[in-house]
Amino acid sequence: MAGARCLALTGNTLYYLLLSSAVQLGGIAMTSLVIGFLPVAVTIIGSRDRNAVPLHKLAFSLLLCAAGTICIGWQAVALPAPGSVATQAAGLLCAIGALISWTSYAIGNSRWLNRLDDISVHDWNLLTGIVTGAQVLVLIPISLVLTTTPHSELAWAQFAGVSIGVAVLASIVGNILWNRMSRLLPLTLVGQMILFETLFALIYCFLWEQRLPTLLETTAFVLVASGVVSCITAHYRPPGDQARITAHV
């Protein structure tokens, strides 16, 4: 239960509070650039696990990942920054906090799942979701007190609808798949899988804006995809080597 409380806080409640604050204070570009280094952070920390792929074998993949992230945010960074320097600094701190929060979640969640092999990924997901819901109930009165802008009933209904949709698709369906992957893959590979979040976010953006990707965005796609392929290649072991590792363990 203690593990579920920590994971619910770092991966859901605290992460989204910091992320939304970073977007509002510092803008989407700066936030996306900072959060884009999630795969790098998770992979570097995961490389210290027992029998993990050495970091030097993942260096090329990490460089591709970082280059793709920079390409994604380069165009937006060139735009005028919103707000004052102090506001930008506060947004940057929130983005860094969100990066630390979700990195902690990805690593802790993977290790708890491997430790509690008698609990299914579905049960673990439901437990985390229940704890997250309890944390949200505590935050609702606080948010209502701090809210100064009046909203219509239609606006509240739209907000509730979007929240329910995100809860079902991301928090339930998405987390079940994520937990299953975290149990099957090493942390050094789990980190690279986060890159698909960025790719699908870009695809959604193109569909929403009804346009084709720019040259930088296309380059980012190629770099990110190449980084994932490179990371998978670095994790490949011939069947004989894998059998010897398993026997040694």
In whole angstroms, what is the distance from residue 212 CA to residue 241 CA?
44
- pLDDT tens for the chain, residues 1 to 249: 666 778 888 888 888 889 889 888 887 767 777 887 888 888 888 888 877 888 888 889 889 888 887 877 676 566 555 667 788 788 889 989 999 998 999 888 888 888 887 888 878 888 888 888 788 788 878 877 777 777 788 888 888 888 788 777 777 788 888 888 888 888 888 888 887 777 777 787 778 878 888 888 788 888 888 888 888 888 877 655 544 434 433
Q: What is the pLDDT, as a whole number, of residue 101?
A: 92
Decide if 28 contacts 86 (C-beta within 8 A). Answer: no
| pTM metric for this prediction | 0.78
Q: Does the CA dihedral 159-144-14-184 come out positive or negative?
A: negative
Q: Does the CA dihedral 179-184-185-187 come out positive or negative?
A: positive
Decide if 53 contacts 186 (C-beta within 8 A). Answer: yes
Give residues with Cβ within 8 angstroms of 20, minimum separation 6: none
CB-neighbour burial class of residue 51 (10 A; exposed 0-12, middle 13-18, buried 19+): exposed
With CA atoms as reference, report the closest residue to 125 among 188, 183, 58, 79. Answer: 183
- Sequence length of the chain is 249
In whole angstroms, what is the distance from residue 137 CA to residue 194 CA?
29
Tokens of 166: 């995100």
- CB count in 10 Å sphere of residue 29: 19
Decide if 8 contacts 132 (C-beta within 8 A). Answer: yes
